[in-house]
Amino acid sequence: MTIAIIGAGLSGTLTAIHLLKNAASGTTIYLIEPDRYRMHRGVAYSSQLPFQPLNVPASAMSLFADEPLDFFNWLTEHAYLYKRQISLPVRATDFIPRTVFGDYLKARLQEAEAGAAQGVSFVRVYEEALSVSRQGRGFVVSCSNQCTLSANKVVLAVGNFPPAPLPIPNKSFYKSQRYVASPWSAKGLSGLQQQDPLLLIGSSLTMVDLVGSLQAQGHRGKVYVVSRHGLLPQPFDVSTRPYPNLAIPAVAYSSALSLFRFIREEIKRAEAEGYTWRSVMDALRDDIPVLWQTLPLKEKKTFLRHIRPYWEVHPHRMPASSAGLLQELQEKGQLEVIATAVVDMHETENGARVTIRRRHHKATEEIEVGRVINCTGPQCDYTQVKAPLVQQLLADGMAQPDMLYLGLKTTPGGKLIDTEGKPVRGLFTLGPPRKGMLYESTALREIRQQAKALAYRLIRKGKATLEIAEKS
């Protein structure tokens, strides 16, 4: 059997790890990634930004749900290698730089490769996958450099795509050197003068990392953060106690409003017992896929339109130290967070002029900055993704976006559904492309479950594990 995994970030690498641990002799695994530095790391853990900590502590970053302290134990053993990046002795509650986690991910893959059964072949392919086409009961993966690979099964582990540009009238601005389309590169901050004002579109965790990186490299200019609601991620609290009493009533599955009301009432009950809202949100996390799939389509749209901005800042939190930094900069007047709409953007002789309209205001105003960086979050509408592979799969009818344009349409087990509504035999995905079905499908907590279940499904390791995969 031959399995081709397209993408070597967290999703693809972790799938490869489980395959290597469980595959039998005669299995060949291709891991396809054009960027050598991103092999085994992807975008998230290969960043060159000077400040980019994980968003959860070391004790919660294991690649394996059944070995919850695996990352922390690995980190403790190898901490001497990172004296300049972490404080020693390392603690379970520390927020570790993402590049260090990337080293851990790579190390566990190398161990799985070394321990694979005899006759299992693992091949790294440093090319871009351009298309996947059916060949008999299998596939041909065509890559750059005229490279082609035959595979019985294919996994799309494509991760996140760069943010979409805002729909402004002056679209020529997006060709300007004053605009940075992808926030995940150190190049976006290079060449800035210390006093240059900067505008960040979006108030996500990516924005938090960029502000921290600006401070780390000595930037002293004004930073404007603009988003529709002006909401910042909530700070992580390492002292949060697990909440054991969560019981979701049937009514919560019926509408977005009912779900919202249930969560608010549950938080009140939890707080009366000495817990916090964080305890409730963490306890709810594993139920989100079922809740999301049960909600009627109309209610999902209501959630996305009215509740999502307030929801997102609660489960996806920033380290308390990052929250402290943002508060300090706001108090000094160096950082301003504005709830606003971006009306238009133009390049000027010395930078960029951004026209905004503050929330609940009719009049517009202008901000002069040296650079604009898009931090609005990954592009989820696959019809707008420019990657050749995505365009080919959609054009050939082998994939279709989900009805909410959050990802790709899949079966419960991660198999892609074609434009005729039929599962594509042997073609799977995991992680961000499954957001439309699972909603929460971008963090380690969800991806590690999906990767294990998918690997078992690919090699058909027993009936029980197949049932697990189908539910994932």
Distance, in Å, from the CA atom of 201 to the CA atom of 213, rounded to the nearest integer, reads 16
Pairing of strands 415-417, 147-151: unpaired
- Beta carbons within 10 angstroms of residue 333's beta carbon: 8
Whether the CB-CB separation of 370 and 221 falls below 8 Å is answered with: yes
Instruction: Please classify residue 85 by burial: count the beta carbons closer than 10 Å to its beta carbon, then call 0-12 exposed, 13-18 middle and 19+ buried.
Output: exposed
pLDDT tens column, 206-249: 999 999 999 999 999 999 999 999 999 999 999 999 999 899 99
Which 8-state DSSP code applies to residue 90? -
pLDDT of residue 461: 61
Residue 472 scores a pLDDT above 50: no
State the pTM of this model.
0.93
Whether the CB-CB separation of 360 and 381 falls below 8 Å is answered with: no
Q: Tell me the torsion sign for CA atoms 28, 31, 36, 39.
A: negative
CA-closest candidate to residue 237, choices 191, 280, 276 = 276
Distance, in Å, from the CA atom of 203 to the CA atom of 365, rounded to the nearest integer, reads 20
- Beta carbons within 10 angstroms of residue 299's beta carbon: 18
* Longest alpha-carbon distance in the chain: 70
Q: What percent of the chain has pLDDT over 90?
A: 90
Residue 462 scores a pLDDT above 70: no
Give kind and range of the element (H or E) at residue 327.
helix 320-332
Whether the CB-CB separation of 337 and 166 falls below 8 Å is answered with: no
Average pLDDT score, the chain: 94
CB contact set of 382 (below 8 Å; sequence gap of 6+): 390, 394, 399, 401, 405, 407, 408, 433
Name 429's bridge partners: 156
- Average pLDDT for 444-453: 96
CA-closest candidate to residue 79, choices 68, 90, 63, 71 = 90
- Average pLDDT for 40-66: 91
Name 135's bridge partners: 138
pLDDT tens column, 241-254: 999 989 999 999 99
Distance, in Å, from the CA atom of 427 to the CA atom of 139, rounded to the nearest integer, reads 9
Distance, in Å, from the CA atom of 251 to the CA atom of 259, rounded to the nearest integer, reads 8
CA-closest candidate to residue 54, choices 13, 117, 97, 15 = 97
Please tell me whether the peptide bond between 315 and the residue prior to it is cis, using omega within 30 degrees of 0.
Answer: no
Confidence category of residue 466, pLDDT binned at 50, 70, 90: very low
pLDDT tens column, 349-407: 999 999 999 999 999 999 999 999 999 999 999 999 999 999 999 999 999 999 999 99
pLDDT tens column, 147-191: 999 999 999 999 999 999 999 999 999 999 999 998 887 778 888
Name 371's bridge partners: 198
